[in-house]
Chain A
Amino acid sequence: MAQNAITPYQYVVLGGSAGSLEVILNLVERLPEHLNAVIIIVIHRKNDKDSILQELIANRTRLSVREVEDKDPIQFNTIYLAPPDYHLLIENKELFSLDSSEKIHYSRPSIDVTFESVAEVFGKSVIGVLLSGANADGAAGLAQIKRSGGYTIAQNPATAEVAYMPQQAINLTEVNDIVNADELADVLKQLLIPHIS
């Protein structure tokens, strides 16, 4: 689409831990069906094989939702979830890959791992968002997204159920924006959908 020239961002990667699920559910509900973007979500979770998270999110959005399997193609207008007990990586511009190596920050999936991988492959077209959580995971990854030319957002710690995770990111890197939970959908739409000037 020619409109793409107006907005540089095509990949949104969201990370969160304790207290982030509600924010994500409210966000996906408000995203339009044709977003011209890929949404990647990494939430710290128990090893629940029943894909409850996928159902929860799918019930709230018009976008298609998929828990990533090995070497899945990366498709637009789709929400991808990091599967439990695997790190989610970007193999190349077309494919995901998975890795069950050591936990990072006591977590697998780790937010840092996915953020760093997305930053390396998609650079300037990435929006990284770090939400509520009680863990330092994600802060280094968000800094990497910033260094690679992407746009970085931290949830306003004052509106986060657990302020620690977004606060770590704010301390570590000069994020582009600090956003209240209920404003996140509008901010992302602003960044992703080209406006008529």
Chain B
Amino acid sequence: MIREEELDLLLNELYQRYGYDFTNYARASLKRRVNRLLTIDRFTSFAELFYRVKHDPDYLTHLVEELTVNVTEMFRDPALFKAIREQVLPVLATHPFIRIWHAGCSTGEEVYSMAILLEEANLLHKSLLYATDLNPSVIENIKKGLFPLSQMKQYSENYILSGGKKEFSSYYMTRYEWAKFDDRFKSKMIVATHNLVSDRSFNEFQLIFCRNVLIYFDKELQDKVLTLFDNSLERLGFIVLGSKENLRFSGIADSYAQMENKEKIWRKMR
């Protein structure tokens, strides 16, 4: 296990040298990420890792990718996607143009899930999905639309539980061990790097997804990021969080009402 002082040293270096600010990330999880990095990159000590960070700028992309958690799936928590189908999409349908932001979207499984939902509600043609993450490498995957074929059985089950009625495999072509999703989805996505810690609001949306990202932040940073979302959301717009995240104790809580179905969907009331 690396020590507190070592973690501080590393975080300080990442900020001073490269401008990546992890200082308000939740410590317990971040420590595990650094320990994991020591193992997978076979560093024999923290000092060795630290030397690499100081002297090899090319190592940075990999480092940031491994420090952040990039675990996601299609239609994760199917009941949530069912609630979006039934309660959120009918509201969005009344808008002439729909803008959705997937903040911290990692490899984009959720963005494709949402695009499928929009198409099935006949709304994709008037929608734009903004997909952002701080890792330049993981979002490249979104543009390719390639996902491991081995996951499709699970995603197909999730899709059906979310209320999907079609054959899930009709959305992709099999290419060796990959599932290639149709380009009509990608054409409605805008993919960009965005760091929730340091970058600002860049548009106004009717729906913002940020699931299982806030768990990696301390409360102070959570509050800051939720304020960023508040500034980026239209009145009566929706925020969707991860199944164990909550905005109840945040600074913006007073302006939001949670949907009655107990899913982690909040509506901006004022």
25 pairs, A vs B, C-beta closer than 8 Å: A49-B79, A49-B243, A68-B244, A69-B246, A70-B215, A70-B242, A70-B246, A71-B219, A92-B27, A92-B28, A97-B28, A98-B215, A99-B29, A99-B69, A100-B69, A100-B71, A100-B242, A101-B29, A101-B33, A101-B71, A102-B71, A113-B32, A116-B1, A117-B28, A120-B1
A83 CA / B32 CA spacing, docked (Å): 19
Contact with A90, one of B28, B219, B243 (Cβ below 8 angstroms): B28
Which residues of chain B are within 8 angstroms of A71 by Cβ–Cβ distance?
26, 219, 222
Instruction: Say whether A9 faces chain B, with CB atoms less than 8 Å apart.
Output: no
Q: Please tell me if B227 contacts chain A, counting CB pairs below 8 Å.
A: no
Closest chain B CB from A91 CB (angstroms): 5
Beyond A70-B214, A101-B69, whether A86 also contacts B244 by CB under 8 A is: yes
* Residue with the greatest number of chain A CB neighbours at <10 A, chosen from B1, B214, B244: B244
Q: Does B46 contact A (CB under 8 A)?
A: no
- Among B21-35, those with CB < 8 Å from A are 26-29, 32-33
B77 close to chain A: CB less than 8 A? yes
Q: Does B113 sit within 8 A of A, measured CB to CB?
A: no
| A153 proximal to B (CB < 8 A) | no
Which residues does chain A contribute within 8 Å of B79, judged by CB atoms? Answer: 49
The distance in angstroms between the C-alpha atoms of A4 and B267, with both chains bound, is 47
1/0 per residue, CB under 8 A from A, across B236-252: the answer is 00000011111000000
Interface of A is mostly: loop
Whether B50 is near chain A, meaning CB under 8 Å from some CB there, is no
The answer, yes or no, to whether A89 is at the interface (CB within 8 Å) is yes
Alpha-carbon separation in the docked complex, A70 to B26 (Å)? 11
Residues from chain A with Cβ under 8 Å of B258 in the complex: none
In the complex, what's the smallest C-beta–C-beta distance from B52 to chain A, in angstroms? Answer: 22
**Min distance, Cβ B223 to any Cβ of chain A, angstroms:** 11
Query: B216 near A: Cβ within 8 Å?
Result: yes
Q: Mark B200-226, 1 if CB is under 8 A from A, else 0.
A: 000000000000101110010010000
A57, B148: Cα distance in complex, Å? 38
A83 B28 Cβ-Cβ under 8 A: no
Minimum-distance CB pairs A-B, first 10:
A89-B28, A99-B29, A101-B69, A69-B244, A97-B26, A70-B215, A98-B215, A91-B28, A100-B212, A70-B245
Complex CA distance for A86 and B27, rounded to whole angstroms:
16
Taking a contact as CB atoms closer than 8 A, the residue among A68, A83, A89, A116 that contacts B29 in the complex is A89
Within A55-99, which residues are at the interface with B (CB < 8 Å)?
68-71, 83, 85-86, 89-92, 97-99
Cα A101 to Cα B28 in complex, Å, equals 12
User: In chain A, residues 137-156, which have Cβ atoms closer than 8 Å to a Cβ of chain B?
Assistant: none
Specify which chain A residues have a CB less than 8 angstroms from the CB of B216 in the assembled complex: 99
User: Out of B26, B77, B214, B245, which one reaches A49, CB within 8 Å?
Assistant: B77
Q: Tell me how far the C-beta of B35 lies from the nearest C-beta in chain A, rounded to whole angstroms.
A: 10
B244 contacts which chain A residues (CB < 8 A)?
68-70, 83, 86, 98
* B138: min CB distance to chain A, Å: 14
A-chain residues with CB within 8 Å of residue B28 when the two chains form the complex:
89-92, 97, 99, 117
